[in-house]
Amino acid sequence: MSEKKTDGEILLDIRHLTHIFSFPKRVTVKAVNDVSFQIRRGEIFGLVGESGSGKSTIARCIMNIYRPCAGEIIYKGVNVCDLKQLRKNKRMLDTTRQLIFQDSSSSLNPRMKVCDIIEEPMRIQRTNPPRGSYRAEAEFQLYYVGMDASYLDKYPAELSGGQRQRVAIARALAMEPELLVADEPIASLDVSIQAQIVNLFRHLKKEHGFSFLFIAHDLSMVEFLCDRAGVMYKGELVETAPVKKLFENPQHPYTKRLLAAVPIPDPGRERARKGNRW
Amino acid sequence: MSELLEVKNLSVSFSTSSGEVQAVRNVSFSLKAGEVLAVVGESGCGKSVLCKSIMKLLPSNAKIKQGSITVNGADITAYRERDMCRLRGKLFSMVFQDPMTALNPTMTVGAQIAEAVRVREPGISKTGLRDRVMQLMDLVGIDSPGERMEQYPYHFSGGMRQRSVMAIALAGNPRILFADEPTTALDVTIQAQILDLFRDIQKKLGTATVFVTHDFGVVAGVADRVAVMYAGKIVEIGTAEEIFYDARHPYTWGLMKSLPAFSKGQDTLYTIPGMPPTLVNPPKGDVFACRNEYALEIDYQEEPPMFRVTDTHYAATWLLDERAPKVVSPVGGIKV
């Protein structure tokens, strides 16, 4: 990591974010309600909560896919909700923020080869490839996520779930982002593949100081990977704390309930706990 | 207790353009009445194919190469579709992974459960049918079934949909329930509810369950016995306690070690090196050898037989041979 990037600098500041979906017949759903948190440089921030609690909506607001109804999202001093500032800093915002989706089979174009998929963001941004050609750059990124050059000319359908997720990560890394927003990147993978992807994230953070917003519902992975975590419940952020504190001493009753639902890989203890629950 | 289901030396192959895929190879196990057997393994190791081949729900390019399936004392290996139809639902039924694709989006949930009931009891009266549907929805924990049965699947949340799928599966009072990754698509809190429900139903109805999953955490709460599958074979089988506290196969160790609970406080999670082999031409010897850090020379030449550890615990690894070097298991009851 270069000296200029000091740890602890606030990279992303979310202030009182609210997003409301409107449906016909005046039905509205408050998906995100007055949420505030910060992500520091070089930090992995975990966002947990059950499905429908608004985690993905926050990710999409950060990436300018949704326009929030109220609140501010300050990324590197730029308010991304302000269209004027957004236009002015478009290139910086487009290159330094990247999103990884949950379902890699639908977020990769099945008609494009792996090399085209990884090159696409570079072509769109017309970046100067530091390694000579776009293909060499794609090869480097692929190698970086643990796959060799033989995969460059394959189609996504020829890859396994874990490999596809790696390609999606390589595509995000091609722009050398500073903030990676990962929306349940491991939810659809096998346990042993999950471990590989989580190790990759750890490595990226340690060696390159990437900052992550890691969205998940698997608490044990969040405990292992993240520095700080926030718990979402029905659109509200009910608790934010360093991971260790959150798991050892949960404050909010919903956090306690969430922690109690994590299965323990130990039949004796799991059964003893079951007995208590009934 | 008598054996309700007995599978002996079952092998299933798919004929594809790239050759014969041996999805299930020489699998033997048995299931007693009222017992929960968990089948654990990575994707593509033949867990689902095993369930589907017992229910004979495989596509037409699949073929049972050898072995026998005995249910309730009757050999069903050679049964034709017409005979199987009589068994499905009554004797065994299945809960699928994704509740959204398992339900028909154009029918109300009540109508879908009623359909399953009517197939099993053709002469049932209209009020009797309604009562039975209400009773089933109540059994799987759907509140106010009277209103809910008029609603469509898209009105239901993921957990509620999975409950409805279970109600359909239980409509014919099956003796055996196959659950193919029933909680993979659900989040943690709903998963805990569904797992509790499985235990609850199993206690109430005494249904034997084959529970397919890739998550060892889930297994601990539901299973009486555990079978670990790798590349189409059962490599280790035993009671839940034996597998969790005294696993013998290196693959079982690997699967357990990759759980985050095991790597707490460490820098990286353990991963099993390499990828599962393709099953078109499985390598000679032990298929796990090339990913196994404890592999012996014989692993590359000869397939290990099932070694007996106790009367209920068997494992297929040469490490259990008396000539093998002694290896201390890296996992022995995970301390959380």
Tokens of A211: 């900052």
CA-based nearest residue to B213, from B47, B2, B16, B28: B47
B 209-228 → A contacts, CB under 8 A? 214-221, 223
Surface-to-core class of residue A278, CB atoms within 10 Å of its CB (0-12 exposed, 13-18 middle, 19+ buried): exposed
**pLDDT truncated to tens, each residue of chain A (278 aa)?**
444 445 578 899 999 999 998 888 888 888 899 999 999 988 999 999 887 788 889 999 999 988 888 899 999 888 988 888 888 888 888 888 999 988 777 889 999 999 999 999 998 988 887 788 899 989 988 888 888 888 899 999 888 777 888 899 899 988 888 999 998 888 777 777 788 888 888 888 888 888 999 998 888 888 888 999 999 998 899 999 999 899 889 999 999 888 888 888 887 777 776 554 43
The separation between CA B67 and the C-alpha centre of its own chain, rounded to angstroms, equals: 19
Question: Which of B239, B257, B271 should we substitute to test contact with A (largest number of A Cβ atoms within 10 Å)?
Answer: B271
Where b means 16+ CB within 10 Å and e means fewer, B279-308 reads: beebeebbbbbebbebbbebbeeebbebbe
Q: Do A195 and B191 touch (CB under 8 A)?
A: no
Query: Residue B133 to residues A264, B87, B128, B243: CA-CA distances in angstroms?
Result: 35, 21, 9, 39
Report, as ranges of residue numbers, the positions in chain B whose pLDDT lies below 70: 1, 332-336
Q: What is the pLDDT of residue A4?
A: 44
* ipTM of the predicted assembly exceeds 0.85: no
Q: Do A202 and B267 touch (CB under 8 A)?
A: yes
- Find chain B residues with C-beta within 8 A of A184's C-beta: none
Q: What is the pLDDT of residue A257?
A: 87
Q: Are B230 and B288 in contact (CB under 8 A)?
A: yes
Q: Is A275 helix (H, G, I), strand (E, B) or coil?
A: helix
B155 in reach of chain A (CB within 8 A): no
Q: Do A265 and B157 touch (CB under 8 A)?
A: no
Per residue in B266-316, pLDDT (tens digit) is 778 888 887 777 778 777 888 888 888 888 888 888 888 889 999 999 999
Q: Are B165 and B183 in contact (CB under 8 A)?
A: no
Q: Which residue has the tokens 């609210």?
A: A18
Task: Return the half-sphere exposure (C-beta side, CA atoms, 13 A cut-off) of residue A241.
Answer: 15
Q: Do B217 and A224 touch (CB under 8 A)?
A: no
Tokens of B244: 């969790």
A223/A250 Cα distance (integer angstroms): 13
B117/B124 Cα distance (integer angstroms): 9
How many A-B residue pairs are in contact by the CB < 8 A criterion? 116
Q: Phi and psi for A96 in degrees, rounded to 5?
A: -95, -5
Q: Phi and psi for A150 in degrees, rounded to 5?
A: -65, -15
Q: What is the pLDDT of residue B332?
A: 60
- Find chain B residues with C-beta within 8 A of A271's C-beta: 221
DSSP B88: B
- Find chain A residues with C-beta within 8 A of B218's C-beta: 263
> Sheet containing A10-23: which strands, arranged edge to edge?
A27-40, A10-23, A70-75, A78-79
Enumerate domains of chain B plus CATH numbers.
Answer: 3-91+174-320 (3.40.50.300), 103-172 (no CATH)
CA dihedral (B263, B269, B273, B279) positive or negative: positive
Q: Rounded to a whole number, what is the distance in Å from the CA of B272 to chain A's nearest CA? A: 7
To which H or E segment does residue A99 belong?
Answer: strand A97-100
B180/B27 Cα distance (integer angstroms): 18
CA-based nearest residue to B298, from B277, B279, B319: B319
Q: Which chain A residue lies closest to B194 (C-alpha atoms)?
A: A261
B 73-132 → A contacts, CB under 8 A? none
Q: What is the pLDDT of residue A275?
A: 52
CA-based nearest residue to B244, from A195, A106, A271, A4: A271
CA-based nearest residue to B32, from B235, B224, B228: B224
Query: Residue B263 to residues B134, B272, B336: CA-CA distances in angstroms?
Result: 46, 14, 10
B56/B230 Cα distance (integer angstroms): 22
Tokens of B114: 């009623």
Q: Do A221 and B260 touch (CB under 8 A)?
A: yes
Q: Rounded to a whole number, what is the distance in Å from the CA of A102 to chain B's nearest CA? A: 12
Q: Are A166 and A144 in contact (CB under 8 A)?
A: no
CA-based nearest residue to A139, from A165, A109, A113, A112: A113
Q: Which residue has the tokens 């014919």?
A: B172
Q: Pairing state of beta strands A236-242 and A228-233?
A: antiparallel
A262 in reach of chain B (CB within 8 A): yes
A52/B100 Cα distance (integer angstroms): 16
Question: Which of A190, A276, A277 should we substitute to test contact with B (largest number of B Cβ atoms within 10 Å)?
Answer: A190
Q: Are B49 and B58 in contact (CB under 8 A)?
A: yes
B 11-70 → A contacts, CB under 8 A? 42-44
B158/B237 Cα distance (integer angstroms): 32
- Length, in residues, of chain A: 278
B38/B88 Cα distance (integer angstroms): 21
Given B223, B244, B258, which is nearest A191 (Cβ)? B258
Q: Rounded to a whole number, what is the distance in Å from the CA of B271 to chain A's nearest CA? A: 6
Surface-to-core class of residue A184, CB atoms within 10 Å of its CB (0-12 exposed, 13-18 middle, 19+ buried): buried
The separation between the first and the last C-alpha atoms of chain B, rounded to the nearest angstrom, is 35
- Find chain A residues with C-beta within 8 A of B157's C-beta: 51-52
A 29-68 → B contacts, CB under 8 A? 50-52
Q: What is the pLDDT of residue B183?
A: 84
Q: Do A263 and B244 touch (CB under 8 A)?
A: no
Q: Which chain A residue lies closest to B252 (C-alpha atoms)?
A: A192
Q: Is B16 helix (H, G, I), strand (E, B) or coil?
A: strand
Q: Do A267 and B336 touch (CB under 8 A)?
A: no
B318/A149 Cα distance (integer angstroms): 36
- Find chain B residues with C-beta within 8 A of A266's C-beta: 220, 244, 333-334, 336
Q: What is the pLDDT of residue A7?
A: 57
Q: Which chain A residue lies closest to B43 (C-alpha atoms)?
A: A190
> Sheet containing B208-213: which strands, arranged edge to edge?
B92-95, B176-180, B208-213, B36-40, B225-230, B233-239, B314-315, B307-308
A222/A218 Cα distance (integer angstroms): 7
